[in-house]
C-alpha cells in the first residue's frame, strides 16, 4: 500500500515546537523578507511565510519594494538589515526583476543571516560536508520528510530531476552527504524515464505539470514532488502525475500539502537557529 507523506502534518508539528521554544525566550527571533515587484505567486508565498512566522512568535517584517528598485538601493536595504541586531534572518524572495543581479544580492547577505542557505558560503559548506549556518529550506524539508517516514537514504539510488541552486543542487548534496548514490537530471538529460525508473528515491523539482508518469517509477519507490504548477483551470499541480504514480510508488507526497508546507517550517527552523547563533 502506498504511504501518503503528509508534509503539512510534520510542518505543523515543527512550527508548534518552535512556537513553544520561542515562548521561553525574552527576545523574539527576527525574520525580514524583501519582495520586489508584483509577482502574484511570490506575494502568496511571502504572506504565508509572514503569517507562519507570526504564529510561531517571531518578529516578522516584509519590505515591499517597487519593480523599479535599483541594484544599489536593494543592496543598501540588505546592508541595513545585516547591521540590524533585531534581524536574525534575511530572505530575498526570488525571482528578482531582470535588471537586478540576483547572485550579487544573495552574496550581499551576511552568511550568518542567510536564512535561505543560498549564499556561496553556505552552499559551499553544504557541498564540502561542513555545517552551513542554514541549509536551503526546500531540500532540507525533503530530507526531514524522508527521515520522519523512516525511508532509508544510505546506499539507495536517489534521482533528482532539476539542477537549480534552490532545490536540485543542494538536495543532491544533502543526499550525497547521507551516502545515497545520487543522479541529477535536467533538461538535457537523455533517457530520463529509464534513469528515473532505477530510483529508490525520486525527487521531481522541474516545474512541468504531471511530467513524471507511472512507468518512470520503480515499484515501491519514494516519490517526492516539489513542483508547483498552475494548470489551465487554475488548479495547483505537481511535477508528478499523482493519480497514476500513487498506484505504484511506496511513498508519495501530495501537491498541495507535501513539500510546500515543509519549506516554510524549515524557514522558521533556520531563523531560530540563526537567532540562537546571534544570542
Ligand atoms: P528551475 O526552473 O530553476 O529549475 C528547473 C530544473 O528542471 C532545471 O534544472 C531544468 O534543467 C530542469 N528541467 C526543465 N525541464 C525539464 C525536463 N523536461 N526534463 C528534465 N529536467 C527538466 O526551478 P526550481 O526553482 O528548481 O523549481 C522547480 C519546481 O519546484 C517549480 O515548479 C517550483 O515552483 C517548485 N518549487 C517548489 C517549492 C516548494 O516549496 N514546494 C520550492 C521551490 C520550488
Domain boundaries, the chain: 26-110, 137-260
pLDDT one-digit tens code per residue, 36-74: 999 999 999 999 999 999 999 999 999 999 999 999 999
Q: What average pLDDT is seen over the chain?
A: 97
- φ and ψ at residue 211, rounded to 5 degrees: -65, -45
Pick the catalytic residue: 93, 114, 239, 241? 93
- Contact (Cβ atoms closer than 8 angstroms) between residue 36 and residue 63: no
d(C-alpha 196, C-alpha 201), whole Å: 9
Give 29 Cα–ligand 1 centroid separation in angstroms. Answer: 31
d(C-alpha 188, C-alpha 171), whole Å: 19
To the query of whether residue 93 is one of the catalytic residues in this protein, the response is yes
Give me the pLDDT at residue 206, please.
98
Statement: residue 1 has pLDDT above 90: no
pTM of the entire predicted model: 0.98
Give 123 Cα–ligand 1 centroid separation in angstroms. Answer: 18
Q: Which CATH number fits domain 26-110: 1.10.40.50, 3.30.390.50, 3.40.640.10, 3.40.50.10860?
A: 3.40.50.10860
What is the arithmetic mean of pLDDT over 235-257? 97
Domain 26-110 identical in fold to domain 137-260: yes
The best mutation among 228, 240, 267 to test binding of ligand 1, ranked by most ligand atoms within 8 Å of the C-beta, falls on: 228
Task: Say which CATH topology domain 137-260 has.
Answer: Rossmann fold (3.40.50)
9: how many CB neighbours lie within 10 A of its CB?
12
Amino acid at each position: 500500500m502506498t504511504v501518503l507523506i503528509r508534509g503539512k502534518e510534520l510542518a505543523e508539528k515543527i512550527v508548534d515546537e518552535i512556537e513553544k521554544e520561542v515562548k521561553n525566550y525574552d527576545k523574539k527571533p527576527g525574520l525580514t523578507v524583501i519582495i520586489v515587484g508584483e509577482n502574484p505567486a511570490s506575494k502568496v508565498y511571502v504572506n504565508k511565510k509572514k503569517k507562519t512566522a507570526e504564529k510561531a512568535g517571531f518578529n516578522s517584517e516584509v519590505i515591499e519594494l517597487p519593480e523599479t528598485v535599483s541594484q544599489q538601493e536593494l543592496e543598501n536595504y540588505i546592508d541595513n538589515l545585516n547591521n540590524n541586531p533585531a534581524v536574525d534572518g534575511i530572505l530575498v524572495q526570488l525571482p528578482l526583476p531582470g535588471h537586478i543581479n540576483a547572485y550579487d544580492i544573495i552574496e550581499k547577505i551576511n552568511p550568518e543571516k542567510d536564512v535561505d542557505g543560498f549564499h556561496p558560503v553556505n552552499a559551499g559548506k553544504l557541498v564540502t560536508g561542513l555545517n552551513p549556518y542554514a541549509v536551503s529550506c526546500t531540500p532540507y524539508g525533503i530530507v526531514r520528510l524522508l527521515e520522519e517516514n523512516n525511508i532509508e537514504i544510505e546506499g539507495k539510488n536517489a534521482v533528482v530531476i532539476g539542477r537549480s541552486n534552490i532545490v536540485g543542487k543542494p538536495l543532491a548534496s544533502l543526499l550525497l552527504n547521507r551516502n545515497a548514490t545520487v543522479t541529477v537530471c535536467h533538461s538535457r538529460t537523455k533517457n530520463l524515464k529509464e534513469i528515473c525508473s532505477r530510483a529508490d528515491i525520486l525527487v521531481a523539482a522541474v516545474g512541468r505539470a504531471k511530467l513524471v508518469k507511472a512507468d518512470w517509477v520503480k515499484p515501491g519507490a519514494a516519490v517526492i514532488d516539489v513542483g508547483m504548477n498552475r494548470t489551465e483551470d487554475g488548479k495547483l499541480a505537481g511535477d508528478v502525475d499523482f493519480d497514476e504514480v500513487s498506484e505504484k510508488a511506496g511513498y508519495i507526497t501530495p501537491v498541495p500539502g507535501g513539500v510546500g508546507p515543509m519549506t516554510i517550517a524549515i524557514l522558521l527552523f533556520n531563523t531560530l537557529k540563526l537567532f540562537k547563533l546571534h544570542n
